[in-house]
Chain A
């Protein structure tokens, strides 16, 4: 698989990177809308949403696309980065002082940190759904994600870890949004300011939405 990915031209690899990135950006909004149900003291909302996501066949099909999307986005990111390191075998003695958006230079690192978070997140929830790890369950044997989320957020260290990693995700998204449009060739001067502003708002609002939940559980409940 990697060998055929390597044969793609630089722009083709980046176009796939951007398309998968936009798909993941949309997924994050869906994920956030379900997570926000946790703020309601009645667990029915969240549990119903979680049960719908776990049983609906359209959603389950998208789950496969989502996993493939994550894997290819990560794989392409690594391939592009390794090629980029190889294109400058002798480094400069003086670090580059060009004016660039600060976060744009650290996408591989913020992406790596988000990947660690993703792995922990999958162990906590997806592996629990499959029964690979233990966790709270309903009487009918279905996983109780509401209880699991509350259990995790009641640990202050986990909540702090979650908040920090979501902030790093925000850093990743901050550059990712407008970079995806630039790669797809949709960033002409006419629209670039609008895309940059929307990307900035997205990279603040979405992570903030995720962060509100552990703060609510730590401070209010």
Chain B
């Protein structure tokens, strides 16, 4: 495949970035998108040019590091996959592919296509955990969990925190991410003791960091590589209403 790449290059957080056009020839349709970028970077290094910086880690679709906005969609044209699991066969020979970093006020660009997603860590620090005393492991069946609740909780826990929901949302809202992290605990008995405090603190941090407000367009759900459901947002809203109403 012969491709034209239009890639956002930005020296550092303070510099003004711009698109740079690269031509790539003889790319295998079986290449992953990141492997294609590796080939580009190898050719740039050979020419003594600065390689394109982009986030990646496991390349197995489970770590949530890749964060590329490809041709107007986070993680590119395939559904329910991360950019590392996207293959070049999803494009046509001769295509021009535009690659941008996630765009959101709380996700500032560090360099080229790499953005700082510390904002998500700060939201997690506000309540994305349960407090337990350390010690010997307790009997596994001591707290019984209904199977449907366990299933829903696991579905919410599938969120890898990549930020595609924020990138896709026209308002740069983090509601799908936060709601998944709230839901995974809210659905389980172990998460209930801190449920009220958790939802209020995580929502407050989300607002303080400058994420936008949800307008229920559901672009987040459409682009989530882990297919996190919008029903988590409804659940978080209800958790928030109940917490606010009954908080002493």
Which A residues are within 8 Å of any B CB, using their own CB? 9-15, 80, 83-84, 86-101, 104-105, 107, 175, 178-179, 181-189, 192
Contacts and interface: CB of A to CB of B under 8 A. Distances in A.
Interface in B209-248: 210-219, 222-223, 229-231, 233-241, 244
Given A88-B105, A92-B69, A95-B72, A11 B168 contact: no
B6 to A, nearest CB: 8
A107 B215 contact: yes
Contacts, number: 135
A98 B219 contact: yes
A84 B105 contact: no
B34 interface: no
Interface stretch (B84-92, B96-104, B121-129): B96-104
Contacts of B170: 84, 96, 105
Contact of B172 (A87, A94, A181, A182): A87
Contacts of A92: 69, 72, 100, 103
A189 B72 contact: no
B241 A184 contact: yes
B41 to A, nearest CB: 21
Contact of B98 (A14, A83, A94, A178): A94
Given A97-B71, A100-B219, 6 more contacts: A14-B213, A84-B173, A88-B172, A88-B212, A92-B103, A105-B170
A210 B187 CA distance: 44
Nearest to A95: B72
Contact of B234 (A87, A89, A100, A188): A188
A87 B173 CA distance: 8
B213 A80 contact: yes
